[in-house]
Amino acid sequence: MNHLNNSRNLSTQFQTTLKKPVSCSGVGVHTNAKVSLTIAPAEPNSGIIFKRIDLGFDAEIPALVDNVIDTKLCTVLGSNGYGGNLRVATVEHLMAALFGAGIDNAIVQIDGPEVPVMDGSAEPFLFLLECAGKRTLNAPRKVIKITEEILVKEGNSIARITPSETFEITCSINFDHKLIGKQVIHYTAKENFKDKLSSARTFCLESEILKMRAAGLALGGSLSNAVVFSESRVLNEGGLRFPDEPARHKALDLIGDLYLLGTPIIGHIETLRAGHSINHKLSSFIIKNRSFWSLIDCPKQIVQPDAPLVAAASVA
């Protein structure tokens, strides 16, 4: 057993990684490219790193806000080199699963341009991480503690963060569609990410599909990996997993996009009509404005090195 160092401060959380690699394969929801993915352990302070193994040994993209190159219907990471091909799309569901499982360090080896969509949620990735198990590392976990209110706007979308003693989000959506309409979801770090958010699937309107495909998007989308709303009903067999599944998925996307900050957050994030673009705008503001937050050791270490992984956000 890999015992804790007795000199460590037991009031502080410590960084984690996976116990062993886990793999999956599938298609990209936008590219329809068949891709295989392996999530492997990483050293302390590595963060999450995507590695395009089909391009070359050093084709790496750290999963950080500064490496976001596109936010149209998904979050895309990219870096210079390889003729502009060093990019990985639709990272948000996997990033949300890593956050929800409390994984700080991992290498994501992928042999194509987009993370497989799986069933359109974070649940399959969370299952993989549970199978891998979690190992605590001998390095303190850092967290961004919000100290001043932050407000960003983009069109009719709004995102705000206010100081709080824990991580919490409130997502509000308002769709001009009778089956969606106005929905609000609230989530805190004290709740179970797996049960409340992880299985909420991405969604779209049937009327938008042709337009998306004409723009080269949603080429791999189907009823097996997205919820589709017609004018009068949900087209998926079995319907919705939750009455407010769209709002829950927006919260899932928000968590995945915010984890590109490289650390968890202690603060209350509120969004109205949010999407990947304003999520990125909010994260970029945080990175560029250090006076609104402080970087501290994450409090309340309770996880032992060889304890089973519990899929709940372990912040404060």
Mean pLDDT in residue range 184-202: 96
CA atoms of 269 and 251, how far apart (whole Å): 10
Nearest Cα to Cα of residue 158 among 141, 176, 171, 142: 171
The Cα 293–Cα 312 span in angstroms is: 24
**What is the total residue count of the chain?**
316
| pLDDT in the model for residue 176 | 93
Question: Mean per-residue pLDDT for 173-195?
Answer: 95
Which of 30, 249, 268, 276 is catalytic? The answer is 276
Domains and CATH numbers, the chain: 14-141 (3.30.230.20), 144-297 (3.30.1700.10)
pTM across the whole model: 0.91
pLDDT of residue 300: 66
* pLDDT exceeds 50 at position 313: no
Q: Are 287 and 261 in contact (CB under 8 A)?
A: yes
Q: What is the DSSP string of 17-79?
A: EESS-EEEEEE-TTT--EEEEEEEE--TT--EEEEETTT-TT-EEE--GGGEEE-SSS-EEE-
Q: What's the pLDDT at 316?
A: 42
Q: Which residue has the tokens 């993370």?
A: 115
Rounded to the nearest 10 degrees, the angle between the axes of helix 123-132 and helix 92-100 is 50
pLDDT at 215: 87
| pLDDT recorded at residue 9 | 55
* For range 35-41, the mean pLDDT: 98
Handedness of CA 142, 147, 148, 151 (dihedral sign): positive
Q: What is residue 210's predicted lDDT score, i.e. its pLDDT?
A: 86
How many Å is the maximal CA-CA distance in the chain?
Answer: 62
Pair of tokens at residue 122: 């974070």
230-243: pLDDT as tens digits: 999 999 999 999 99
Buried b (16+ CB within 10 A) or exposed e, 219-255: ebbeeebbbbbeeeebebeeebbbebbbbbbbbbbbb
Q: Summarize pLDDT for 239-267 with one digit per residue, the tens.
A: 999 999 999 999 999 999 999 999 999 99
Asked whether 73 and 236 are in contact (CB, 8 A), the reply is no
Percent of the chain exceeding pLDDT 70 equals 91
Task: Count the helix, strand and coil residues of the chain and give each as a percent rounded to the nearest 5.
Answer: 25, 30, 45
Whether 186 sits among the annotated catalytic residues: the reply is no
Q: Give the mean model confidence (pLDDT) for residues 279-303.
A: 88
Distances (CA, A) of 186 to 4, 103, 114, 143, 149: 35, 22, 29, 21, 19
Q: Mean pLDDT score of the chain, rounded to an integer?
A: 91
For residues 20-32, average pLDDT? 95
